[in-house]
């Protein structure tokens, strides 16, 4: 089974690509890390309790305020949901304080999300899917690219296009808030370079500065190439022979570890020139 790592940055069109891949004619199962990240911090979960314990004392508006429809202890008595805009102001930004808070939040959320991702991968393998999309905004940062046969990065060349799309989509954001959200993530142009550095057949960059029609055409071309390199008969072989599937996964991980090592060395050399 081919694991397709899908990533990008905020407001570059990753969700659009994910929607296209999950619909006909591709109908690929999608493991959405954003959805899982919401589930692992729902009231009553260990993730929720850890966030409230760390951020609660210094973030008065951390929880959705009580109202006629929202009791003090939440709808089910497990607590009121997180107030995401308030939490976002604590973790989005480029200051050292924001980076520290973001690291704490990630240390709470990421392990729980990773565990759910692994369980879903096993399920989709057992149900005979030829490929699964891992829709993960922090694919490189969380090192989950190591298990992907192909990485797709959805990017835009013009940063202003990204900012405009974000503010059009989330009209409640101020320009500063929008900028902080963009700066809190790795520059998508850098992600695109890293993806291209993986080499032909292992990295695909979908430049999304143009129309949706052009984006769909690029997706179709990318999927056709993947189907040629990972045909249906190979998927059946992996399904019928689990040891072969495990060995293939281990080989993919080893290749990706080497790819990442070369990338880090290249980054080091470029920084040394500055």
Say if residue 175 is in the same domain as residue 245.
yes
Say if residue 6 is in the same domain as residue 100.
no
- pLDDT-derived band at 161, boundaries 50, 70, 90: confident
In total, how many domains does the chain have? 2
Domain boundary among 100, 128, 156: 128
More reliable by pLDDT, 268 or 254: 254
**Whole-number pLDDT of residue 162:** 83
CB 214 within 8 A of CB 126: no
In this prediction, residues 31-40 reach a mean pLDDT of: 94
CB 166 within 8 A of CB 173: yes
Would you say residue 174 has pLDDT above 70? yes
Say if residue 194 is in the same domain as residue 265.
yes
CB 169 within 8 A of CB 211: no
Say if residue 152 is in the same domain as residue 262.
yes
- pLDDT-derived band at 274, boundaries 50, 70, 90: low
**Whole-number pLDDT of residue 11:** 87
Say if residue 140 is in the same domain as residue 245.
yes
Task: Say which range, 20-29, 74-83, 162-171, has the weakest mean pLDDT.
Answer: 162-171
- pLDDT-derived band at 213, boundaries 50, 70, 90: very high
The structure tokens listed for 58 are 């210094």
Say if residue 85 is in the same domain as residue 194.
no
**Whole-number pLDDT of residue 257:** 95
The structure tokens listed for 193 are 């370079």
In this prediction, residues 67-73 reach a mean pLDDT of: 89
Would you say residue 55 has pLDDT above 90? yes
pLDDT tens sequence across 239-258? 999 999 999 999 999 999 99
Question: Which residues are paired to 205 by β-bridges?
Answer: 153
**Whole-number pLDDT of residue 148:** 96
The structure tokens listed for 169 are 């989509």
Provide, rounded to the nearest whole percent, the portion of the chain with pLDDT above 70. Answer: 100
Say if residue 84 is in the same domain as residue 175.
no
**Whole-number pLDDT of residue 155:** 94
Task: Say which range, 17-21, 139-143, 182-186, has the weakest mean pLDDT.
Answer: 182-186
Would you say residue 129 has pLDDT above 90? yes
What span, in angstroms and rounded, lies between the C-alpha atoms of 143 and 132? 17
| Phi-psi region at 13: left, alpha or beta (left = phi > 0; alpha = psi -120 to 50) | left
Say if residue 85 is in the same domain as residue 123.
yes
Say if residue 152 is in the same domain as residue 232.
yes
Domain boundary among 80, 98, 128: 128
Task: Say which range, 115-119, 171-175, 241-245, has the weakest mean pLDDT.
Answer: 171-175
**Residue 101 structural domain:** 35-128
Domain boundary among 128, 144, 172: 128
Say if residue 2 is in the same domain as residue 136.
yes
Find where tokens 């392990």 sit: 111
Q: What is the CATH number of the domain that holds 1?
A: 3.40.50.300
């Amino acid at each position: 089974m081919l694991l397709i790592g899908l990533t990008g940055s905020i407001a570059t069109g990753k969700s659009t690509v994910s929607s296209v891949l999950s619909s006909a004619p591709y109908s690929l199962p999608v493991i959405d890390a954003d959805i899982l990240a919401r589930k692992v911090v729902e009231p009553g979960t260990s993730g929720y309790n850890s966030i409230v314990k760390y951020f609660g004392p210094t973030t008065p508006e951390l929880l959705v305020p009580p109202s006629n429809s929202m009791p003090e202890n939440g709808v089910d008595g497990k607590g009121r949901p997180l107030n995401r805009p308030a939490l976002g102001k604590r973790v989005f930004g480029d200051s050292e304080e924001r980076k520290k808070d973001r690291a704490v939040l990630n240390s709470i959320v990421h392990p729980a999300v990773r565990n759910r991702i692994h369980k879903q991968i096993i399920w989709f393998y057992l149900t005979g899917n030829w490929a699964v999309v891992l829709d993960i905004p922090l694919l490189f940062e969380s090192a989950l690219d190591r298990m992907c046969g192909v990485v797709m990065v959805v990017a835009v060349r013009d940063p202003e296009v990204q900012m405009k799309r974000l503010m059009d989509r989330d009209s409640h954001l101020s320009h500063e808030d929008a900028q902080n959200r963009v700066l809190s993530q790795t520059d998508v142009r850098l992600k695109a370079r890293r993806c291209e550095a993986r080499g032909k057949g292992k990295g695909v960059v979908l430049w999304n500065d143009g129309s949706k029609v052009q984006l769909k055409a690029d997706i179709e071309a990318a999927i056709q190439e993947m189907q040629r390199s990972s045909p249906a008969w190979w998927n059946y072989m992996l399904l019928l022979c689990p040891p072969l599937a495990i060995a293939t996964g281990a080989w993919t991980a080893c290749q990706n570890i080497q790819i990442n090592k070369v990338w880090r060395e290249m980054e080091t050399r470029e920084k040394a020139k500055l």
